[in-house]
Structure 1
């Protein structure tokens, strides 16, 4: 991955890393937070969390007028620390989980797609991270 051809989004979650990791890697949780906008949902989430394991998430508008699958294979997984994967479209992503006492920073670096404007991709991903934060922080 070349630094000048990647996007980075980040969020700080006010929960310990084990809670954050579980919510990020559990399909039932993913379906609740992997939503970029209020009129979207994530009806499908499959996760085989291991190197060479397959993942697939379906994101779509609630009315069914627009949607896409985000799928690929995990390249590297270190529990509570790191997920690296390659999407079926060959784009790479790196997600780091950094523990800061009782908070966790999630940093996601990814190769953008060519057809969608960069700022739209960044806003889309940042919105998903904000939903993740809200989801995890609302859990007791």
Structure 2
């Protein structure tokens, strides 16, 4: 079973892609709630390239690294990556009302499917807000 979250962002594909793939932007939107933030991010945007982001509770009580390796990079269309023994695919589709971004990923075994879907959707919703509100 895989989980998919999606959002339509009202912006040009170039802006959406840039915001999703550059460390300077990732640290501004990559959080599931207001009490979390991403303190650092790195991206080597090529097949075999690695990425990572450090996510931390703002109160300093907990943090973790989300890292993986890109397995497919098609600019303005698709990113695929492995993280641990799991995989994810991010599809970018230009539509009349914006860019549809769909993230499909393998679930883990600790949290419920609903919790995982809600968390990943919250991050994607933050991404949408960031892109639509930034200049």
Please indicate the TM-score interval, normalised by the length of the shorter structure: over 0.9
In structure 2, stretches of 5+ residues that fail to align are: none
For residue 89 of structure 2, the aligned residue among 72, 76, 94 is 94
Tell whether 2:80 aligns with 1:73. no
The 4+ residue runs of structure 1 with deviation greater than 4 A are: none
CA offsets 1:27-68 (integer angstroms, 9 cap, x no match): 010000001100100001000000000000111101111221
How many residues align structurally?
135
Contact conserved, 1:16 with 1:101, CA < 8 A, in 2?
Answer: no
**Residue 102 of structure 1: how far off its partner (Å):** 5.2
**Residue 110 of structure 1: how far off its partner (Å):** 0.1
CA distance in 2, matches of 1:48, 1:101: 31
For residue 110 of structure 1, the aligned residue among 94, 105, 113 is 105
In structure 1, stretches of 5+ residues that fail to align are: none
Instruction: Give the alignment's Cα RMSD to 1 decimal.
Output: 0.8
